Amino acid sequence: MLSQKQGEDAIITNLNHTEHEGGSTSTREEEEQDHSMFNFKSLLWHGGSVWDAWFSCASNQVAQVLLTLPYSFAQLGMVSGILLQIFYGLIGSWTAYLVSVLYIEYRTRKEKENVSFKNHVIQWFEVLDGLLGRYWKAVGLAFNCTFLLFGSVIQLIACASNIYYINDKLYKRTWTYIFGACCAFTVFIPSFHNYRIWSFLGLGMTTYTAWYLAIAAILHGQVENVTHSGPTKLILYFTGATNILYTFGGHAVTVEIMHAMWQPRKFKSIYFLATLYVFTLTIPSAVAVYWSFGDQLLDHSNAFSLLPKNVFRDAAVILMLIHQFITFGFACTPLYFVWEKVIGMHDTKSIWLRALARFPVVLPIWFLAIIFPFFGPINSAVGSLLVSFTVYIIPALAHMLTYRNASARQNAAEKPPFFMPSWTAMYVFNAFIIGWVLVVGFGLGGWASMINLINQIDTFGLFAKCYQCPEPPPPAGAPPPLTHPVVEGGVDLVEPWAPPNLLKII
């Protein structure tokens, strides 16, 4: 039994060594040259080590959501904000472990059938198809692609929101046009093998931003008459909770990151270790900003909007913009793979042809970012409706069904981890995750986040020119308009007074 398992490890290791440039083959001599520690191209471009996977997971977990977590703390309160981060971080790490187990199980079974993946990148929906059938493939494909699509949309919205705090001469919608064109260049990055330097730089950028938020808030001190009244309303509480659920939802690219590794069996604990590092970024920054500004955050979903403008804040904004470009590539690359497979271009070796084939994927993302420029609320909506299934429910349920009979458990490529006493314990824990996320994340969270998003659409309309931008000052001598504050859902401007809606009154 041991020798058989060692043989499977060797097959997987050897096969992964032949995957470069999005699945193209290479000779042994080219491989050795590519992986030479003295080869500059290999150092920056070809990544498949454990460290590459760790940087990819940690970098992919935290991006623009770092700026909305203080807003979530204002909705949840300090204690709930901290506890929910730890809770969702831990169960997110567990379901990432389940995804890695199912990947190894699928690959081991296929290799016993002499299936080769030399020119093919395995994706999550294919794992579900191989283990559970075509209906599961359809479900996995629908949720994963929709989640990645809106995840990419969020990156464009965040880019426009952030750059506005440096240059407000252009509307946020105009900045979305500009950054949509910039992010389209990610079509030239072949696969997750080629994100080595980007993952490393991205994590450094978010580390700077997180500690800038924490230190700047502490140095700023508490604002006058600061209040910390959260939680006050159920709709705000569950909106904030689903934003935190979204924070630890980077699983949509887990299989692709594993497939890019030279030894994917070593992935099992990488996501958990990445989450531990992410805690050191998200918790101190959110706590410090909420301590400093309190309930003011309910009207400011982007933490940058409350901190004073200086060179350190501008540096944080610029670094986040660069990282959001990287995260856009992380979210889009699996979509590129799916599209390539649909049109029969996945085996193409030419980077230029693949880039041309990929470009249509960027267009709907660009368009949706212009339609729905709602920074904080769309995070919560995606978290409740998509992340809840993609990241938590589907992996847990798929694991339970894959190993539902004794023969599957006996021949499993991966046995339960040392801290799980039996398969029964795994079943109980998976069932708890499914029940909790289905009721709290999807049910209550979906209700709260959709009401919040609809409120934003009613207030600003679709294709908003400049969401959450302060109104220009009135002309000299003009009487000020009658206004009332809008505070629901993180709106940070004043809306002109309008007569009541008689239909609603009736």
pLDDT digits (tens, 9 = 90+) for 373-385: 665 567 677 778 8
Q: Tell me what pLDDT residue 103 has.
A: 94
Written as one string, the DSSP assignment of 107-171 is HHHHHHTT---TT----HHHHHHHHH-HHHHHHHHHHHHHHHHHHHHHHHHHHHHHHTTT--SS-
Q: Which of 52-56, 274-278, 344-348 has the least mean pLDDT?
A: 344-348
CATH for the 46-458 domain, from 1.10.10.10, 3.30.420.240, 1.10.1530.10, 1.20.1740.10: 1.20.1740.10
CA distances from 247 to 225, 278, 380 (A): 30, 10, 10
Query: Which tops the pLDDT comparison, 257 or 502?
Result: 257
Considering 208-217, 361-370, 478-487, the range whose residues carry the highest mean pLDDT is 208-217
Q: Which two tokens stand for residue 124?
A: 């999550």
d(CA 239, CA 99): 27
- How many angstroms separate the CA atoms of 85 and 210, rounded? 15
The top-scoring range by mean pLDDT among 143-147, 233-237, 266-270, 280-284 is 280-284
Each residue of 21-59: pLDDT tens digit? 333 333 333 344 444 444 555 666 667 888 888 998 888
pLDDT tops 50 at residue 492: no
pLDDT above 90 (res 438): yes
pLDDT digits (tens, 9 = 90+) for 52-82: 889 988 888 877 788 889 999 999 999 999 9
Share of the chain above pLDDT 70, in %: 78
Banded model confidence at residue 196, pLDDT cuts 50, 70, 90: confident
pLDDT > 80? residue 436:
yes
Are 255 and 124 contacting, i.e. CB atoms less than 8 angstroms apart? yes
CA–CA gap between residue 252 and residue 151 (Å, rounded): 10
* DSSP three-state, residue 469: coil
The tens digit of pLDDT for each residue in 132-161 reads 999 999 999 999 888 888 888 888 877 877
Higher pLDDT, 78 or 260: 78
